[in-house]
Structure 1
């Protein structure tokens, strides 16, 4: 049989200059696997950290890595024992391929798409049928590709960690993909939303998505005081912490017994906090690792019910992957997507 070849973006050494578009063999699906033709891929800061070498230093020890974890595609071939999907179905990848429900186990981290498992920034992938969810019909390919990390992280930060209810208040840091999903989902839950940004223009755009207020932290560096002012001194029920580093001000911005959901590390992967402020607020701090497949499917029902549309900053062609990562580094408004086919 003649070997069939596809294109895949693979990292050979750390640094964006070492990201190469390679010819590799199209994989064959096993008995419980799907062969998926990729339509669109969205990229995340995790992918950028992998490229930069700041995610894990030994990633490339076994050779080049195909990047990215978030994709939508069409099933073009199925294994003999597949029952969840059929050829022609449109599916979205689930990043934690073996975390289907319940508490995440340490070994689940060994089966993450984009590393340690091969990623999705290629023309085809093979995926176990349990590691995919049905694409929401109301979304385009580009929109659906943004769901696996950004949307699911925002959903679980608000639902699983914060248990946010109508009438409560949430403070969200930034205007990237997770932040804008969180703003839209919180608004749909009936919560009040405050968002931070470095640009008034982005703040106004966030207000159009459901944020009641925005704080420009370049003009108002003591943003925690502004959060308290906007909440009449009470503080917010939850902070969606996307910056990390010193989170003392996030603690100061929550109400007594409030929650900080740590979902990002844009500033620094090391957390620092004033312990006295924790005692004073009886604060709850919880780290969040995306979510399981059952939560993904529940989220999709919610998104479709409320017709929540992902915010996409820009769509790049498959040949423009390097440019896409360059735009990601600039801090886009929403998600960066690469159209594959």
Structure 2
């Protein structure tokens, strides 16, 4: 079977197309899946560029969607022919998070989905939303589930709430779509007026160009009548957190899900305390969260926004497109 291996120490030039032995027949509790698509995430970029070092020869990509080819003894949740999508934390099935690292995450601590076939425990997958393409389904594992957990599971999103999304990456666009589908109002920031207009076309009530307006937090709060938003999808990290606090209402909820501006930095603790806000860190979610999200996608009719698709052999070109920042929505691999 065909696969991509990452040669240490990483770098797009060290992504190599290889031929491997076929994935084995599934043992008890396992399924064999023909992988048809994956999607690119900031985490995957960190791995392939060597910023998040991993084992030499690692098969990258945390997201995988495809078709079950065979099931092992005792598997009752899936049948041959089912469309499935992978889990970011395959050992986190329900309850509180049991892990604080990426040792079990495909494409990082273990081999990922940049390959044509995998044989894994059935518990490493959920069903994909009915009617979705494999490329659409592959966007759920990381981006979709992160947005779902931030707003619905942890944030308790309800109709009438106000939500702020930062930028136009996969998580932010998914958050906009989920919030709109559940009757919330959404505001956005971007460095591109063109992208802000696209977000308005998708239902955003307003937006601010953060390159033009350094005080974008105050401006977002003014758009809510001065109250501030109920939820912030905080993907930036230390350089954006202060403005997010300004944009968020007293007692509001901020989901810290990204480190685009750095892994550490100053937290405006006095301002955070004075505004009685909750700042909650999170990384993706559990199998139960993912199954709940799949049902919600099917019920609401929500479909992900796809940017460009690349062949597996062109994986380096796909990541270069991600680095360029020109994309709007999810970049995918056809496998």
Do they superpose with TM above 0.5?
A: yes
Aligned equivalents of 2:197, 2:120: Cα separation in 1: 40
Distance, in Å, in 1 between the alignment partners of 2:209 and 2:245 is 19
Q: What secondary structure does 2:285 align onto?
A: coil
Structure with greater proportional strand content: 1
- 2:331 counterpart of 1:336: yes
* Counterpart among 83, 88, 95 of residue 102 in structure 1: 95
CA distance in 2, matches of 1:139, 1:87: 18
Aligned to 2:278: 284
The match for 1:36 among 26, 33, 36 is 33
Unaligned runs of 5+ residues in structure 2 are none
Gaps of 5+ in 1: 1-5
Contact 1:98 1:108 in 2 (8 A): no
Distance 1:181 1:278 in 2: 26
1:255 corresponds to: 249
Say whether 1:268 aligns with 2:268.
no
SS in 1 for 2:159: coil
CA distance in 2, matches of 1:7, 1:313: 25
Q: CA deviation at 1:257?
A: 0.8
Distance 1:159 1:317 in 2: 34
Deviation at 1:53, TM superposition (A): 2.0
1:216 to 209, 217, 227: 209
Matched, 1:90 2:86: no
SS at match of 1:137: coil
Contact 1:184/1:308 (<8 A) preserved: yes
TM-fit CA distance, 1:272? 2.3
Per-residue CA deviation, residues 102-150 of structure 1 (Å, 9 max, x unaligned), is: 0011278432111212100101111211111111122111111111111
Rounded Cα–Cα distance in structure 2 between residues aligned with 1:209 and 1:34: 38
TM-score normalised by length of structure 2: 0.95
Which residue among 2, 16, 19 is the counterpart of 2:15?
Answer: 19
Structure 1 segments, 4+ long, off by >6 Å, are: none
CA separation in 2, counterparts of 1:19 and 1:42? 16
Using the alignment, how far apart are the partners of 1:44 and 1:118 within structure 2? 16
Instruction: Indicate the SS of the match to 1:151.
Output: helix
Deviations 1:192-240 (A, max 9, x none): 1001111111111112222111211122221112112111221111110
Q: Give me the CA root mean square deviation.
A: 1.3
Provide the residue aligned with 2:51 in structure 1: 54
SS in 1 for 2:263: strand
- Which of 151, 160, 181 aligns to 2:174? It is 181
Query: Residues 294, 235 of structure 1: CA spacing in aligned structure 2 closer, same or farther, 3 A cutoff?
Result: same
Structure 2: distance between partners of 1:292 and 1:43:
20
> What is the TM-score normalised by the length of structure 1?
0.94
Equivalent residue number for residue 311 of structure 1: 305
Match of 2:124 in 1: 131
Question: d(CA) in 2 for partners of 1:321 and 1:109?
Answer: 22
User: In 1, are the aligned partners of 2:308 and 2:331 still within 8 Å (CA)?
Assistant: yes
